[in-house]
Amino acid sequence: MTSPQGEFVFTVAPSDAGRRFDTLTAASLSDCSSSYAAALIQEGYITIDGQEKKPSYRVKIGETIACCLPVTESTPLKPEPISLEILYEDRHIIVINKPAPMVVHPAPGNDSGTLVNGLLYHCPELGGNLSERRPGIVHRLDKDTTGVMVVAKSRAALDDLSRQFKNRKVQKSYLALVHGIPEQESGIISLPIGRHPVHRKKMSTASPRGREALTLWRIKHRYIASSLLAIELKTGRTHQIRVHCAALHHPILGDSVYGRGKYRQQKHTDPRLQALLQSPKRQMLHARHLCFTHPLKRRSMTFTAMIPEDMQVIMDGLAKISNEG
């Protein structure tokens, strides 16, 4: 590795006691995989109370984790023959249904297998006239979030779509399968979101530098011990839906970052229900609809992405148990 640059320090919180050193570090860094965190730990760039530890070390309350990030040389993006579910394509834009667990663009420790790598293979023109590291990307979905994304294929399209997102002219609708059933049928969550004061990869409504975040929600289906929410974003903050659902006290099923609370320990008398609620390997969040104005043709376009199989299986199972009741 090259010389380090960029430092941060944080203290292990009670809720993180017992977690693996590398896993906690990856969760606290922006765009960092567990394997990359482990490599940093093994190289001595990340320490606990000034001491080097193994990546598998289980952290303790009050320990101080210090990190000195290395400078990584920028490597050219490589086109890769990754299968993409294309919903629409023309000379200016391409709309895809992003699967999980696909990362949108390369980051330290994760420089292949991303959506950008697949797009460069499918659309070679992206490599020549757009942003070097994030060609054509005007918005993102988390690695484990599925659904509709639009990507620009030309500079004119990139500039116009970027303006539409910035000026909140794009309609983004999601489906979220959450723990519990809200008391109200619908609501508005208006809580600012910013970087967590301790965990840099985590967002929080208690951040001292939070930015405006507005989420509209309504109950689409009620199950036993769970609900399907239809959600519309009015702003586009990082992890916005996940953070706001947690703030609503109805975290998304399978969310290992923001869903750590009473619902994870809750026991249900029906073993099938218990198994279903604990079965997700990722957050059950899907970008269902995306509506925007075509950047060149100037006509409104709306795209819908099919609900992924793993989410549909859980919804079907919950519906079956609920109907029996």
What residues are annotated to the active site? Answer: 142
Other Cβ atoms less than 10 A from the Cβ of 27: the count is: 19
Q: Distance (Å, rounded) from C-alpha 9 to C-alpha 46? A: 10
Tokens of 102: 């696909």
Helix (H) or strand (E) holding 276: helix 271-278
Sign of CA dihedral 182, 253, 31, 96: negative
Sign of CA dihedral 199, 234, 254, 42: negative
DSSP 83-134: ---EEEE-SSEEEEEE-TT--SS-BTTB-SSSHHHHHHHH-TTHHHHS-SSS
Q: How far apart are the first and last CA of the chain?
A: 59
Q: Distance (Å, rounded) from C-alpha 245 to C-alpha 219? A: 12
Q: Distance (Å, rounded) from C-alpha 157 to C-alpha 159? A: 6
